[in-house]
Structure 1
Amino acid sequence: MSAPSFSLVGLGPIINRWKYLVAGAVALAAVVSIVVALLLPNVYRSTAIFIPTNPQTADPDRLLEENAQLRNKLELSGRAEDLDRVITIGESQPVAELIIRKFDLYRHYEAGAPGDDKTDNFVLKEFSDNLSIVHNERDAIELTFMDKDKKLAAQVANALVQAIDSVNQQLTLENRRKVVDLYRQRYEYLSTSFERSRRELVGARKRYGIFGLEMQGRYMVKQLIETEAALRKAEASGGDVAGLRRALRGLTRADGGNLINLESYVRGTDSLSMFTTRVADLQGRLIGARSAFETAELSLRGHLSSIYVVQKAYPATKKIKPVRWLIVVGSVVLTFVLSVMFIALLELYRRNRPSAARPA
């Protein structure tokens, strides 16, 4: 005789025979899941959103370009390398250890004193599990941190953004310092050259008796014309010819006794013109170099942010987990399904036992 078949249609009578056991298991699961769900702490999530800037636009050499380009010195960057760099910094262990020490997460996670490998690894894993840094579809970075303390979650998220910004700035800080040092050396060199050229110009003015090329040239020409005309009149009328000749000699010859004379003026014109042009050029370059150095030094001390914060993290107003009703419903449904499977297998075993298959 063949063994009796078993089908799902027969589950109804089976469940009915075992209804008290199934009901008891489901009720017990409901009570236990309710207790567990109530004991589970609320977990809150805080999210900060920011966009990295291009670090090259914050360099001192870029800050000194034309005003039209200066307006773009905090140019937002959606480049893959900038986004990857920021995410890598945020997920790095040094940043994690910095935040763990700052907020004393060893005590918060009740892990014990730091220094033990097992404890350190536990805290790092707990921290990493609660942290999420992703690149969203709008080319922004979303940094999320979860914790039982909603205020702490927001504080940690904002501190992480600041730490990422600080480390990201350090990547270009050494280069920026070198650029500022180059501007300082250029300014000092031009300052020394300007002072030396200025002293040479003053010395040449005293030596040649030239204190203003254009006005002095006009004055000398006027005096020469007037003196020579007076001399001619004196020669014709018998006036003070000797005195006018001495005056004319003083105006035309360096040994004539006059500080301002034509001979010195002609001899010193080229030199004074060269010195004046050199000093004017150095003065303009020195003013530009000083402005460049001051701007570069200010940018270095100012610590321009390498990220643009779109949204700071705020304490959450709603928990993210646990979903208590889902825990209770899931536990009840799972217990009911397992109970039905158990009693169905038990009934199947009983029906297929050899002793049950032999005729009486």
Structure 2
Amino acid sequence: MNMQTSSFNLITTSAVLLRRWKFILAFVVVCVLVAAITVFVVPKYFRSAATIVSANTTLADKGRLFNQNINGLYSYFGSGDDLDRIQGIAERDTTFLQLVDEFALVSYYKLKNDDSAVLRKKASICLKKNISLQKTEQGQLQVIAWTKDKKLSADLVNRLVDIVQQTGTQIWRSNYNQQIEKFDSTLSVMQKEYATVLDSAKKVKTESTGPLRLQQLYDRIQSFSKVSDEFKLASQTLPPLLYVLEPASPAAFAQRPDKPAVIIAAALLAFVFACIVVLVSDRKTVS
């Protein structure tokens, strides 16, 4: 009995839909036309992406320059933690604010009626929505930008990568410079002490602990000078923070909106909705 009822309902439902096919077709056509007009009217967005991998942060260790055994153990590529570090630098507010200033994005986003600090902040918020960083299964990081200007999308991505690279280098250089300042300060103190002891030894001209003290100071000065020179050389030969596997380039065509996909989706949804409307309106006949 249930099977007969189900068959009867299915047959009746099909009959209702066939009887109202003109309405369904008209509704689908209208929805498709609206969707087509909409996708051709809304702004086009261009996508640009760069693919990067992290460099091994241990390459910044000065030991790599003076110990060949250690140098040979270092890999050129970093780990997932190094990739997280790169992503953290890229997603800083200061990074986005720098991009806002360099590319005049307050004007691009047509922001008005606020002071400059507020406008810059609003533009950076808009920019964050248009830029994403996505890790891949291959241990790579994709930097993606969407804008209405295909050249701007590529320029934003490449400049963001440059800023991250420069920031990482500045951090390491700052660390080395702090160490160099400490060594140079200690060297200055020891050199003054050496000059004082030497002057005293010349005046006294007697056997004392002066020559021994001078030798000790001289050895320490040479040792500190060597380490300071190593830090200075390391500071001048810092390795990259990342490697660019594929820089961003302007897109050949707009990827948003995806016109065929939107139109097809609109047609399918319109068809389903029209069928539901027909069945609901003729529910007494179907039941």
Per the TM alignment, residue 347 of structure 1 is displaced from its structure 2 partner at its CA by: 0.9
* 2-structure distance, mates of 1:75, 1:310: 14
1:183 is aligned to 183
1:150 is aligned to 150
Per the TM alignment, residue 35 of structure 1 is displaced from its structure 2 partner at its CA by: 1.1
Q: Is the 8 A contact 2:56 2:75 kept in 1?
A: yes
* 2-structure distance, mates of 1:64, 1:12: 80
Q: Is the 8 A contact 1:87 1:134 kept in 2?
A: no
2:255 is aligned to 320
| 1:17-52 Cα shifts (integer Å, max 9, x gaps) | 323322221221121121112223332222222233
2:53 is aligned to 51
**Secondary structure in 2 matching 1:7:** helix
Structure 2 alignment gaps of length 5 or more: none
Larger Cα-atom Rg: 1
* 2-structure distance, mates of 1:162, 1:113: 32
Q: Is the 8 A contact 1:47 1:145 kept in 2?
A: yes
* Equivalent residue letter for 2:141: I
* Equivalent residue letter for 1:317: A
Per the TM alignment, residue 56 of structure 1 is displaced from its structure 2 partner at its CA by: 4.7
**Secondary structure in 1 matching 2:99:** helix
Structure 1 alignment gaps of length 5 or more: 209-267, 353-360
2:134 is aligned to 134
* Equivalent residue letter for 1:49: T
* 2-structure distance, mates of 1:100, 1:122: 10
* Equivalent residue letter for 2:136: N
* 1-structure distance, mates of 2:138, 2:17: 54
TM-score by length of 1: 0.62
Q: Supply the RMSD in Å over aligned alpha carbons.
A: 4.0
2:85 is aligned to 85
1:66 is aligned to 67
* 2-structure distance, mates of 1:176, 1:56: 14
Q: Within 5 Å, give how 1:237-252 maps onto structure 2.
A: none
| 1:328-360 Cα shifts (integer Å, max 9, x gaps) | 1211121122111111111114677xxxxxxxx
1:167 is aligned to 167
2:276 is aligned to 341
Q: 1:341 to 1:177 in 2, by over 3 A?
A: same
2:103 is aligned to 103
1:23 is aligned to 25
Q: 1:30 to 1:102 in 2, by over 3 A?
A: same
**Secondary structure in 1 matching 2:159:** helix
Percent identity between the aligned chains? Answer: 17
Question: How many correspondences in the alignment?
Answer: 280
Q: Within 5 Å, give how 1:3-18 maps onto structure 2.
A: 7-18=9-20
| 1:134-163 Cα shifts (integer Å, max 9, x gaps) | 232232322222222221111111121122
Q: Is the 8 A contact 1:58 1:74 kept in 2?
A: no
* 1-structure distance, mates of 2:148, 2:73: 41
Per the TM alignment, residue 291 of structure 1 is displaced from its structure 2 partner at its CA by: 5.1
**Secondary structure in 2 matching 1:126:** helix
Aligned counterpart in structure 2 of residue 306 of structure 1, from 220, 224, 241: 241
**Secondary structure in 2 matching 1:112:** coil
* Equivalent residue letter for 1:51: V
* 2-structure distance, mates of 1:189, 1:116: 49
* Equivalent residue letter for 1:31: L
| 1:234-256 Cα shifts (integer Å, max 9, x gaps) | xxxxxxxxxxxxxxxxxxxxxxx
* Equivalent residue letter for 2:21: K
* Equivalent residue letter for 1:7: N
* Equivalent residue letter for 1:329: I
| 1:118-139 Cα shifts (integer Å, max 9, x gaps) | 9667644432232221232232
TM-score by length of 2: 0.76
